[in-house]
Amino acid sequence: MEQGFLKRTKIVATIGPATESTEKLSALMKAGLNVCRLNMSHGDHKEHGIRVKNIRAQSQKDGIRVAILQDLSGPKIRIGDFETETITLIPGAFITLTTKKIIGTEKKVSVSYSRLPKEVKKGMYIMLNDGRQKLEVIKVDGDEIKTKIIVGGVIKGRRGVNVPGAYLSLSSITDKDKEDIVFGIKENVDMMALSFVRTPEDILTLRDILKKGKKDIAIISKIETQEAVDNIDEIVRLSDGIMVARGDLAIEIGAEHVPVVQKMIIKKCNAMGVPVIVATQMLESMINSPVPTRAEVSDIANSIFDGTDAIMLSEETALGKFPVEAVNVMTHVAQEVEESMYSNGFFRSKDSLDDSSADAVSHSVVCTARDLNAKAIVALTQSGGTARLITRHKSPQYVLACSPHERVLNRLMLSFGCVPVLLPHLKDLESALVAVKKEVKKIMNLKTGDIIIVSAGVPFGKPGSTNMMIVETV
The answer to whether the Cα torsion of 378, 382, 388, 390 is positive or negative is negative
Q: Which domains does the chain have, with CATH numbers?
A: 3-74+171-342 (3.20.20.60), 77-162 (2.40.33.10), 357-473 (3.40.1380.20)
Angle formed by the axes of helices 22-31 and 45-62, nearest 10°:
60
Q: What is the mean pLDDT of residues 237-262?
A: 97
Phi-psi region of 129 (alpha: psi -120 to 50; beta: other; left: phi over 0): left
* Residues 410-429: tens digit of each pLDDT: 999 999 999 999 988 777 88
Output the pLDDT for position 462.
Answer: 76
Whether the predicted pLDDT of 349 surpasses 90: no
Tell me, yes or no, if the pTM score tops 0.95: no
Classify 11 as helix, strand or coil. strand
Range scoring the smallest mean pLDDT among 51-55, 128-132, 284-288, 314-318: 128-132
The mean predicted confidence, pLDDT, of the chain is 94
> What's the pLDDT score for residue 157?
94
Query: Per-residue pLDDT averaged across 83-95, rounded?
Result: 97
CB 433 within 8 A of CB 472: yes
Q: How far apart are CA 151 and CA 162, in angstroms?
A: 14
pLDDT tens for each residue of 108-158: 999 999 999 999 999 999 999 989 999 999 999 999 999 999 999 999 999
Whether 467 shows a pLDDT value over 90: the answer reads no
- Report which of 10, 9, 128, 15 is spatially closest to residue 71, judged by C-alpha positions: 15
**360: three-class secondary structure by DSSP:** helix
Residue 249's alpha-carbon distances to 128, 246, 258, 297, 397, in angstroms, are 14, 5, 7, 21, 34
Question: What pLDDT shows up at residue 361?
Answer: 87
Mean pLDDT of the region 447-462: 87
The pLDDT confidence band at residue 40, using thresholds 50, 70 and 90, is: very high
**Percent of the chain predicted with pLDDT > 70:** 97
What pLDDT is attached to residue 3? 65
Using a pLDDT cut of 90, give the percent of the chain over it. Answer: 82
pLDDT of amino acid 466: 80
Closest residue by Cα to residue 82 from 51, 115, 104: 104
Determine the pLDDT at residue 357. 75
Q: Which backbone phi and psi does 36 adopt, to 5 degrees?
A: -95, 125
213-235 residue pLDDT tens = 989 999 999 999 999 999 999 99
Rounded average pLDDT over 94-101: 97
pLDDT at 174 over 70: yes
Measure CA of the first residue to CA of the last residue in the chain; give whole Å.
17
- Tell me which residues are annotated as active site: 37, 78, 222, 280
pLDDT at 350 > cutoff 60: no
pLDDT band at 463 (very low <50, low <70, confident <90, very high): confident
Residues 6+ apart with CB under 8 A from 430: none
Q: What pLDDT shows up at residue 344?
A: 78
Average pLDDT for residues 74-98, to the nearest whole number? 96
Helices (H) and strands (E) in the chain, counts: 16, 22
Q: Name the pLDDT band for 354 (thresholds 50, 70, 90).
A: low
Is residue 347 scored above 80 in pLDDT?
Answer: no
